[in-house]
Amino acid sequence: MNMIDKTFDVHERALAYRGQRMEILSKNIANADTPNFKAQDLDFRQLLQGAQDNNLQLTKPGHTNLTPENSRSALKYRVPYNTSFDGNTVELPVEQAKYGQYAADYQTTLSILESRITGIRKALRGE
C-alpha cells in the first residue's frame, strides 16, 4: 500500500459512510409525516463485523470490504421511543439531532482530509 492510499483510504471510506448515513436520516426526516413509514439507520457494528469477517478473503492487507453497496445488509429499522398512531416510527427531534451529529462528523472528516492534502502540497513544494 503506497503512502497516498494510507493517507486517504480510511477517510475516504468514512466520508462515504457518513454521507450514506446522512442520506438515510434525510429520508427519515422527509417522511416524518408519512403514515406507516419506518425509520431506518445503519448498524455500524454489523458493518464492522462484516468487514472483519471478509478481511481474510481480500488481496491486500489492511484493505476492508466496507463499501456503501455492502452496507445494505446493515440497514435496520429503528425502534421508536414513542409509538405513533399512524404507524410512522420517525421521531423528528431524534432524527434531527442525529443528522446534526453526523453532519459535524462529516465536516470533521473533510477537515482532516484537507489538512492532509495541505501537508502533501507543502511537502511537494519543499516548504
Cβ count near 105 (within 10 Å): 16
Burial of residue 24, with CB atoms counted within 10 A of its CB: 0-12 exposed, 13-18 middle, 19 or more buried: buried
- Between CA 118 and CA 121 the distance in angstroms is 5
Q: What does the pLDDT look like over 9-27, one tens digit per residue?
A: 788 888 888 888 999 999 9
Q: Are 91 and 38 in contact (CB under 8 A)?
A: no
Q: What does the pLDDT look like over 53-110, one tens digit per residue?
A: 554 454 444 444 555 555 666 789 988 888 889 999 999 999 999 999 999 999 999 9
pTM over 0.85: no
